[in-house]
Amino acid sequence: MTSNTDSRPAAASGVFALGGDLPVHRLGYGAMQITGPGIWGDPADPDEAVRVLRRAVELGVNFIDTADSYGPFVSEQLIRKALHPYPDDLVIATKGGLTRSGPHDWRPVGRPEYLRQQLHLSLRHLGVDRIDLYQLHRIDPQVPLADQLGALAELQREGKIRHIGVSEVSVEQLKQAREIADIVSVQNLYNLANRKAEDVLDYAETHNIGFIPWFPIATGELARPGGPLDRIAEDHTATPAQLALAWLLRRSPVLLPIPGTSQVAHVEQNIAAAEIQLTDTEFDALSAATQ
């Protein structure tokens, strides 16, 4: 590992400008896990959740991703409690379009009036006048995509959304979305052990669209004793999870990993991954391990 002289290691991950005008450090923080079990209700230790958020920002994170459905609203409210008034460079992205009736229950609702309602609730819960990045959490198959993104584009024209993103889409859906609105980010499942969205990442990189991989530190069998992640992690005095994040940061300049945790020790460990520099040989070995 190298040393970051300003004690903000997230800065070592580099910078990506969402929409070309909203710069963030590429290693961010995902605020899903600061809720209760099943991403439902309050966390067991709300004070620790506040400490996690504040520590992430202290370490240079200036991109936090959340959603109205995390809790619901618990995550957004904790972010406000911990960080408001917000630092000038902090970008908070949230999402709308998934409803919750209980733990582990997620149902897409993309009716324009519902999305408008949820956007206004997120503004209130976060304590802001405009959402920097508002993402359609899932495409509702029962509602025309033009209606769903059209509602967000209208809110953008009203000054309540700065940039629009989409989540869990195919390349074809992303192309369709871009015909309706200016899409600056896509959030799909992607990690070292699961690269089914490789084609979406390649498209995003070609068009300079930020790619936010959720579940970024899944390692699976790659982290087994003696496995490729385990061996290279030993060489860097790092954990397999840190290596998985370092691989993502090296994989593409548009990747914006958002590892989440509910513990300060883990957020410190995750953000330290920004300072790991993989050699070409190490990167290639990890890339080939799941092919």
Confidence of residue 5 (pLDDT cuts 50, 70, 90): very low
Stretch 173-193: mean pLDDT, rounded? 97
Please pick, among 29, 70, 190, 203, the residue that the annotation labels catalytic. Answer: 70
Confidence of residue 4 (pLDDT cuts 50, 70, 90): very low
State the Cα–Cα distance between residues 102 and 40, nearest whole angstrom.
7
The model's pLDDT over 130-163, given as tens digits with 9 standing for 90+, comes to 999 999 999 999 999 999 999 999 999 999 999 9
Mean pLDDT of the chain: 95
The model's pLDDT over 55-113, given as tens digits with 9 standing for 90+, comes to 999 999 999 999 999 999 999 999 999 999 999 999 999 999 999 999 999 999 999 99
Question: Does the bond joining 253 to the residue before it have cis omega, within 30 degrees of 0?
Answer: no
Looking at the predicted structure, is the pLDDT value of residue 1 above 70? Answer: no
Stretch 244-259: mean pLDDT, rounded? 97
pLDDT of residue 171: 98
The model's pLDDT over 208-230, given as tens digits with 9 standing for 90+, comes to 999 999 999 876 677 778 777 88
Looking at the predicted structure, is the pLDDT value of residue 2 above 70? Answer: no
State the Cα–Cα distance between residues 21 and 91, nearest whole angstrom.
12
Looking at the predicted structure, is the pLDDT value of residue 114 above 70? Answer: yes
Looking at the predicted structure, is the pLDDT value of residue 263 above 90? Answer: yes
Looking at the predicted structure, is the pLDDT value of residue 252 above 90? Answer: yes
What is the per-residue DSSP string for 210-239? EEEEESTT--GGGGSTTSHHHHHHHHTT--
State the Cα–Cα distance between residues 18 and 22, nearest whole angstrom.
5
70 flagged as catalytic: yes
Specify the CATH number for 14-218+254-260; select among 3.90.850.10, 3.40.50.620, 3.20.20.100, 3.40.50.280. 3.20.20.100
Domain boundaries, the chain: 14-218+254-260
pLDDT of residue 3: 45
Phi and psi at 50, nearest 5°, equal -65, -40
